[in-house]
Amino acid sequence: MPIVDSKTGKIKKDYSIEELIEKSKEMRAYNMVALTAAGSGHTGGTLSIMDIAAALYLKHIKHDPDHPEWEDRDRVFWSAGHKAPAIYVALGITGYFPIDDVVKLRKLWSGFEGHPNRFKVPGLELSSGSLGQGLGVAVGCALNARLENKDYRTYCILGDGELNEGSVWESVMSAANYQLDHLIAIVDRNRLQIDGPTEEVMKLEGLAEKWESFGWHVMEVDGHNMEKILTCLEQALQFKEKPIVIIAHTIKGKEVSFAENVVGYHGICPKDGLKGAESLEKALEDIKAKDFDQEKVNLLYQKSCAYQEEVDRKVAQSMPQFKRNYWWNIGDRMKVSMIPTRFGFGDAIEQLGESEDVVAFGADITSSIKMDQFYAKHPERKKRFFQMGIAEQNMTLAAAGFAKEGKTAFIGSYGVFITGRNWEQIRTTLCYNNFNVKIANAHGGVSVGPDGATHQALEEISNMYYLPNMHIVVPCDSLETEKSTKAVAKVQGPAMIRYAREATPVVSTKDTPYQFGIANIIRFREEKDSFIDAFEIQTSKEYQSENEDIALIACGPMVAEAMRAAYILKKEYNLETRVVNIHTVKPIDRQAIIQAAIDTGVVVTAEEHQKGGFGNIVAGIIASEKTYNTPFLFEMIGMNDEFGLSGAPWELLKVFGLTAEHIAQKAKRLFERK
């Protein structure tokens, strides 16, 4: 059915097949402009699904862009939330909002998140991005339609790599059990996922036979032939007593020559930016969308830049102000190197892989989290590396099997997925059995950036801390990540290494002392050319109190911010600050925490995490072991019971109050109360 007026039932707009083909080209062009302006995003999958998206939103489904919540509309759930730019251009071209707005993709406060947020963009049915969940929601929606005698159709778009997740097949089974013939799943079968071809990562064929064996009616179609797509969608409406799956055979990166069937273009925008062999210019030349000339591109880019300028202004206004600017590398002195903490994990896993007793697992983001360094320069280790695809629960249990037989197993993924989706497997199988499985918990914190809330892990310290036998390290930089990973490899039992994605300040050296379970005490001494040289670092066992005014207790990359806050407090107010680096959160250095409270009476905790995940652990230790009568004041810096947003990493740290400036401001106010 074409787009309709929900009040009158009249057709608002209908398209011929030829017009739809042209519209799909226009959608691809907008998609590529948006991705290039954002500087990140998913090129391959958005281009492979675009013809399906055009057919659905412009011709097939029953909906009214002027009334997004019309109760009789057809529902479309995008389980493959990383294809968000395709959703946005489909909704924009249909009329839910001005199509030109999509050039604000992945920018702070724009609503066009890296993965869709249903509260920010009209026409979205589901906030998604964690793969394997959308079909289950669609099953519930279809069941509700039956319960309320509604005749709307429910559609669910899945990536083929997403079918690695066991939760998909649970939903497949339940849909067949309830004979949900108003439910239509569409699989974007482009045969590529992040780690490579699907048939090499985790075999899916025979895919049609699998769905059929679960009780679904299976249809297959050329996902780029508009006439066949529309015919297939119409035919799907005729089947009764079975849910329908359409396996759409597509080409990842379709119509952009440098991206077609290229694994590397799963999650990146044109490598050369605006001009070059792999650029926006080349993409638009390939797509050949009508009326999409250089003048139009320039206007879209101007809109994107103007929006970013306004964001920059608002972000700057949100920052506490001091007599001078203390931001990283802004001046001639106090310089610091910036290296992603995940690089430290990669260096460690490469070295640990020398032992024949160490095995490692991949979860389709092997390179992103640096797990691939286990075997990258050592092909003989491939026999000890096991690619599990997008299947965190299965990976955890398989690793437990190795651990039972005496191996040390490293598993890893983004923190949201590796400690969230399979928390019960970690609790019961790893912790209860005290198995030697080490969890690489990557992409911790909002500094993940433009991917948005679904990929920003903010709960893992809480999720893992209260599990018996679990060990937790939250290192401050790449060097400490390497040391921490090697340390937990020697500890019997399960462990989590929480590390960030974005380049963060390197605030330690190879010679900086490190003892698992023992905090480091950091003191600012004097301004130097090198930031790290301005501080003295000792273990808490060696440190003698200097009767500081304030204690900042931090973990992870927030240690660097706490150090910079100590610098600000000294220069602005002549306050002395003890920075306590709790690199080992469990077992935690209780004595270092208690001593900081006793010696200063003013404690501020800092975590790139939901406030209290770390802070409440520290507060509990102080409260339960209080042995002094001096006044004591306590505050926490962290996320305020909220999800993150898409935006540049440092933008997000600023607007969520996770910088040295915010720490220093809060510490000064607390000190004044004392």
- Of the candidate CATH numbers 3.20.20.10, 3.40.50.40, 3.40.50.970, 1.10.10.10, the domain formed by 3-287 belongs to 3.40.50.970
pLDDT band at 1 (very low <50, low <70, confident <90, very high): low
pLDDT for residue 79 is more than 80? yes
- 347 has a pLDDT exceeding 70: yes
**Which burial class, exposed, middle or buried, applies to 36 when counting CB atoms under 10 A from its CB (0-12, 13-18, 19+)?**
buried
Residue 380: how many other CB atoms lie within 10 Å: 8
pLDDT at 643 over 90: yes
**Could you please report the per-residue DSSP string of 322-342?**
-SS---TT-SSSSB--EEEHH
Q: Which two tokens stand for residue 226?
A: 């508009």
Mean pLDDT of 366-386: 97
Tell me the one-letter amino acid at 302.
Q
User: Taking the domains of the chain in order of start, what are their residue ranges?
Assistant: 3-287, 338-505, 520-673
The candidate with the shortest Cα–Cα distance to 414, out of 131, 673, 631, is 131
The DSSP bridge partners found for residue 437 are: 409
What lies within 8 Å, CB to CB, of 213 at 6+ separation is none
The rounded distance, in Å, linking the Cα atoms of 616 and 550 is 18
Separation of alpha carbons 363 and 395, rounded Å? 8
Contacts of 411 (CB under 8 A, 6+ apart): 360, 361, 363, 392, 395, 396, 399, 418, 437, 438, 439, 440
Cis, peptide link before residue 353, omega less than 30° from 0: no
Q: How far is CA 287 from the centre of its chain?
A: 30
Domain 338-505, what fold? Rossmann fold (3.40.50)
| Angle at the Cα of 668 from the Cα atoms of 666 and 672, rounded to 5 degrees | 115
Amino acid at 541: K
- Domain pair 3-287 / 520-673, same fold: yes
Tens of pLDDT along 452-484?
999 999 999 999 999 999 999 999 999 999 999
Give tens-digit pLDDT for 95-121: 999 999 999 999 999 999 999 999 999
Q: For residue 477, which of 373, 551, 583, 577 has the smallest C-alpha distance?
A: 583
CA distance 128 to 102: 18
**Phi, psi (deg, nearest 5) at residue 127:** -80, 120
Average pLDDT over residues 521-541: 98
What pLDDT is stored for residue 268 in this prediction? 95
Residue 403 has pLDDT above 70, yes or no: yes
Q: What is the DSSP string of 277-313?
A: TTSHHHHHHHH--TT--HHHHHHHHHHHHHHHHHHHH
Residue 627 has pLDDT above 80, yes or no: no
Q: According to the model, what pLDDT value does residue 26 have?
A: 98
Q: How many CB atoms lie within 10 A of CB 623?
A: 12
> Looking at the predicted structure, is the pLDDT value of residue 17 above 90?
yes
Give me the mean pLDDT over the 63-75 stretch.
97
Query: Rounded mean pLDDT of the chain?
Result: 97
pLDDT on residue 332: 95
Q: What is the pTM of this model?
A: 0.96
Contact, 439 vs 418, CB < 8 A?
yes
Q: Is 406 left (phi over 0), alpha (psi -120 to 50) or beta?
A: left
- Packing angle of the helix pair 166-177, 134-147 (nearest 10 deg): 20
Angle formed by the axes of helices 660-673 and 558-573, nearest 10°: 50
Contact (CB, 8 A) for 79 and 158: yes
Kindly state the average pLDDT of the residues 240-260: 98
What whole-number percentage of the chain has pLDDT above 70?
100
**Would you say residue 423 has pLDDT above 70?**
yes
Instruction: Please report the pLDDT score of residue 471 as a whole number.
Output: 98
Task: Work out the pLDDT band at 2, boundaries 50, 70, 90.
Answer: confident
Q: What is the pLDDT of residue 626?
A: 75
Distance CA 53, CA 67 (A): 19
**What is the pLDDT, as a whole number, of residue 43?**
98
Specify burial of residue 186 (Cβ count, 10 A radius: 0-12, 13-18, 19+).
Answer: buried
The pLDDT of residue 645: 97
pLDDT-based confidence at 625, cuts 50/70/90? confident
Q: Quick: pLDDT tens for 271-316.
A: 999 999 999 999 999 999 998 999 999 999 999 999 999 999 999 9
**DSSP 8-state assignment for residue 206:** S
Q: What is the pLDDT of residue 628?
A: 66
> Which tokens sit at 154?
């429910």
Residue 512 scores a pLDDT above 70: yes
CATH tag, 520-673: 3.40.50.920
pLDDT tens for each residue of 559-592: 999 999 999 999 999 999 999 999 999 999 999 9
